[in-house]
Amino acid sequence: MASSSSSGLTFKLHPLVILNISDHYTRVKSQSQSQSPPSAVNGGETTSPPPRVFGCVIGVQSGRTVEIFNSFELLYYPSTNSLDRSFLEKKQELYKKVFPNFYILGWYSTGSEAEESDMHIHKALMDINESPIYVLLSPSINHAQKDLPVTIYESELHVIDGIPQLIFVRSSYTIETVEAERISVDHVAHLKPSDGGSAATQLAAHLTGIHSAIKMLNSRIRVLHHYLLAMQKGDIPCENSLLRQVSSLLRRLPAIESEKFQDDFLTEYNDTLLISYLAMLTNCSSSMNELVDKFSTAFEKHIIRGGRTAFF
Amino acid sequence: MNQNINSVESVVAQIQGLSSSADDVTHLHGLLKQSEELLQSESTRLAPFLAELDPSKHSLGYLYILEACTTAPKAKEQANELVLSIARFLNDCAAEQIHLAPDKFVSVCKRFKDQVMLLETPLRGVAPLLTAIRKLQSSSSEHLTSLHPDFLLLCLLAKCYKTGLCVLEHDIFEVDQPTDFFLYCYYGGMICIGQKRYRKALELLHNVVTAPMSTINAIAVEAYKKYILISLIHLGQFSTSLPKYASSVAQRNFKNFSQPYIELVTCYGNGKISELEAYVQANREKFEIDHNLGLVKQVVLSMYKQNIQRLTQTYLTLSLQDIANTVQLNSPKEAEMHVLQMIQNGEIYATINQKDGMVRFLEDPEQYKTCEMIEQIDSSIQRIMTLSKRLTALDEHMSCDSQYLAKAGRERQRFDFDDFDTTPQKFNI
């Protein structure tokens, strides 16, 4: 378990896999918790160790690119430290019918680190795929951590103490999304309150989301800007590939240049500004009205009022 | 006598010695307060001592001596040098030191103004008073000082309206004395009328008319008369009921004092120029007494504008001859002149076809599609946001005010146990 892989394979992970694994884990955890309260009374343990879930990942391998599309769950027998083989083969047949291109690429599990016992399961899968992948999801919630808690391990034959052994090595991966995945991830990320809220809270939630997105964009552009300035001053050695990337990014905007677009865009922009101006004017006049009422109550001498007044 | 002169000299020496740092200056301030009667008694002989002091470094001491100097009534010949020395002082003095004795500063400036008016050269007083205002106000430019109305009065008398306008541009948020406020707005309104900035004049006069007052005062009555006239010139209409935030005293009594003007309004509303002119002719003296005759003549002229604008709402194209007939002008040439003037001022949008003498009325060409419009709206939104913050602060302040709480509590309904409704209700105000 160390260093980085030297196999030269590029891995692409789809969000569906991550969602599946986390869903599997959450389900198992909540089911075990609902069953365990009577048994947790005895013993001094406050929390039992989180359960480990196992499953298979499937996808496509073309050339040097390995794309992991989907995953399914498997039962784990702790006694033999192996996965349910017959079920795996059955599932494989079913998936072959629907997705003829997909192969079993490896397996997944949850936990904070890859363990020695995992190598046993890994070797067992080697007859299906000569170099399986091990996807590890760390379910502990760490708010400070910015990256995804997902690691992909490969196995390599290393000579340690004269004995050739298989060890896990980390590989880097990128996230690849399909349109449908993007929509669902977006939906999960912006879970609305269950009663739908009033129009005001929904608008506020929507605008907060946009605000945080823009803030993040702003901070990242600032980092880039800072980096370019430092490069210009000569503090950092000039890296042409990065410069090319930045320039291609800049050339992506503006996306549309036509006259009609400008017209429509500016009209709509002005309309929105006018509406907010109107809203502010109304707000201001309402507070002014209240202020004037209070002032006249406080300082006017003769106030002719008949009967009961409005209660406020 | 000699003893007093010696004491004065010792005071001068103290001033020269103790004017360097802020602590020294406060110490000096205390000393000067003690020697005030001494200075007052020697007021006639203080002039030579002024020469020993430097107004920019020893501003506080200079101010005290100057103030004592000016208490004595001066003959007209001496007024000239006095004006010169005060003007020099106002230009050179240090603002931080002045802030320790603001009332003395104000009284010196007032006497300066009196002298300048005595000499009948108001123009000489304009620039020094402007610097004086800036120095007195250096804490925030939103504070109304007692010098503002004097300054505006001098601007009016000297006919340099533009300088007056630059002071009027700043919004005022804090006022010390109500008289200052009334005078400031009244003179400010007159300056704006002089510069033909009717909208700002209307706003200032409106402030005077609706300001809180427990009894009516002459300034407000005069302002009300001008308010009627400006509102006719600029807006073409006038409603005799004041808004609800005007004081009840004003709402009841103003009309009694400005009867001829109210009748002018009704005459204007009829839309007939000849009747209007006849009415003006009949009541000439009344308008002249109030020095409002020039404004009244402008009201008559504005009648044409109102009539032409009314035409834009009915017709798309109209010939110049028809315009002349409807508006009761003498010839199409005059009509063309009026329409041209209005197009230039931006009051209507039209094109004149000179070949067949037709005028075509157009819509407002603003499409609200440009970047400049974005900037304009954006700046308006920013202004409103700051204003809104101020209003909320004022509102909170008012809610905590003891007088308000006393009166609001009294008006609260008192519930019997039976009246109490147990079902919760939502009050939307």
- What are the structural domain ranges in chain A? 10-190, 193-251, 263-288
Per-residue pLDDT of chain A (312 residues; tens, 9 = 90+): 455 666 778 889 998 898 889 889 989 888 888 776 654 444 444 456 778 888 999 999 888 888 999 999 888 888 887 888 888 889 889 998 998 888 888 889 888 887 878 888 888 888 888 888 888 888 887 766 667 888 888 888 888 788 888 888 888 888 888 888 888 888 777 665 555 566 777 778 888 889 999 999 999 999 989 988 888 888 888 788 888 988 898 888 777 778 888 888 888 999 999 999 999 999 999 998 988 888 888 876 654 444 334 443
Q: In this complex, do A291 and B368 lie within 8 Å of one another by their Cβ atoms?
A: no
pLDDT digits (tens, 9 = 90+) for A143-187: 666 678 888 888 888 887 888 888 888 888 888 888 888 888 887
How many other CB atoms are there within 10 angstroms of residue B339's CB atom? 25
Q: pLDDT (tens digit, 9 = 90+) per residue, B30-66? A: 777 777 777 777 776 777 777 777 777 777 777 777 7
Residue B235 confidence (pLDDT) above 50? yes
**If you measure CA to CA, which chain A residue comes closest to B428?**
A312
pLDDT at B415 over 70: no
Return phi, psi of residue B153, to 5°.
Answer: -65, -45
- Chain B residues with CB under 8 Å of A280 CB are 381, 384-385, 388
**pLDDT exceeds cutoff 80 at B178:** yes
Nearest-CB residue to A273 (from B367, B378, B387): B378
Q: Which two tokens stand for residue A220?
A: 């990242």
Please report the pLDDT score of residue A235 as a whole number: 81
In Å, how far are A52, B81, B89, B94 from B69, measured between CA atoms?
Answer: 96, 12, 13, 20
Of B394 and B422, which is predicted with more confidence? B394
| B428 — pLDDT class (breaks 50, 70, 90) | very low
Nearest CA to CA, how far is B429 from chain A (Å)? 8
- pLDDT category at B86 given cuts 50, 70, 90 is confident
| From A291, A300, A312, residue closest to B429, measured CB to CB | A312
- What's the Rg (C-alpha) of chain A? 30
- Per the omega criterion (within 30 degrees of 0), is the bond before A254 cis? yes
Q: Is the pLDDT of residue B393 over 80?
A: yes
Distance CA(A125)–CA(A105), nearest Å, equals: 9
Provide the 10 A C-beta neighbour count for residue A137. Answer: 21
Give the separation between CA A60 and CA A95, rounded to whole angstroms.
13
- Determine the 3-state secondary structure of B324 from DSSP: helix
Judging contacts by C-beta atoms under 8 Å, the chain A residues touching residue B428 are none
Gyration radius (Cα) of chain B, Å:
29
Question: For residue A139, how many other CB atoms are within 10 A of its CB?
Answer: 17
Task: Give the alpha-carbon dihedral of B246, B248, B252, B256, to 10 degrees.
Answer: -60
**∠ CA(A158), CA(A162), CA(A168), 5° rounding?**
25
Q: Which of residues 231-250 of B touch A (CB under 8 A)?
A: 244-245, 247-248
**B227 near B199, Cβ under 8 Å?**
no
Is B398 touching A (CB cutoff 8 A)? yes
* Number of A–B residue contacts, CB under 8 Å: 85
The Cα A187–Cα A192 span in angstroms is 9
Token pair belonging to B137: 């106000």
Q: Does B411 touch chain A (CB under 8 A)?
A: yes
pLDDT tens, residue by residue, B338-383: 888 888 888 888 888 888 888 888 888 787 788 888 899 999 999 9
Using CB atoms, which residue from B381, B401, B408 is nearest to A277? B381
Evaluate if residue B150 carries a pLDDT over 80.
yes
CATH of A10-190, one of 3.40.50.620, 3.90.226.10, 3.30.360.10, 3.40.140.10: 3.40.140.10
* 8 Å CB contact between A296 and B249: no
User: What are the CB-based long-range contacts (under 8 Å, 24+) for B23-28?
Assistant: B25/B60, B25/B96, B25/B97, B25/B100, B26/B100, B28/B60, B28/B61
CA angle B327, B332, B333 (to 5 degrees): 120
Secondary structure of residue A157 in the 3-state scheme: strand
**A-side interface with B, Cβ within 8 Å?**
263, 266-267, 269-271, 273-274, 276-277, 280-281, 283-284, 287-288, 290-292, 294-302, 305, 308-309, 311-312
Contact (Cβ atoms closer than 8 angstroms) between residue A16 and residue A181: yes
Of A280, A287, A308, the CB nearest to B392: A287
Interface of B with A in 186-225 (CB under 8 A): 212, 214
State residue A309's pLDDT score. 40
Give pLDDT tens digits for B270-302.
Answer: 878 888 888 888 888 888 888 888 888 888 888
Alpha helices in chain A (DSSP H): 15-35, 85-98, 116-125, 179-189, 199-233, 240-251, 259-299
Query: Cβ–Cβ of B388/A280 closer than 8 Å?
Result: yes
pLDDT tens digits along A214-261: 999 999 999 989 988 888 888 888 788 888 988 898 888 777 778 888
- Quick one: pLDDT band at residue B416, thresholds 50, 70, 90? low
Asked if residues A71 and A108 have their Cβ atoms less than 8 Å apart, the reply is: yes
**Yes or no, beta carbons of B377 and A273 under 8 Å apart:** yes
pLDDT for A285: 92
Cβ A284–B412 below 8 Å, yes or no? no
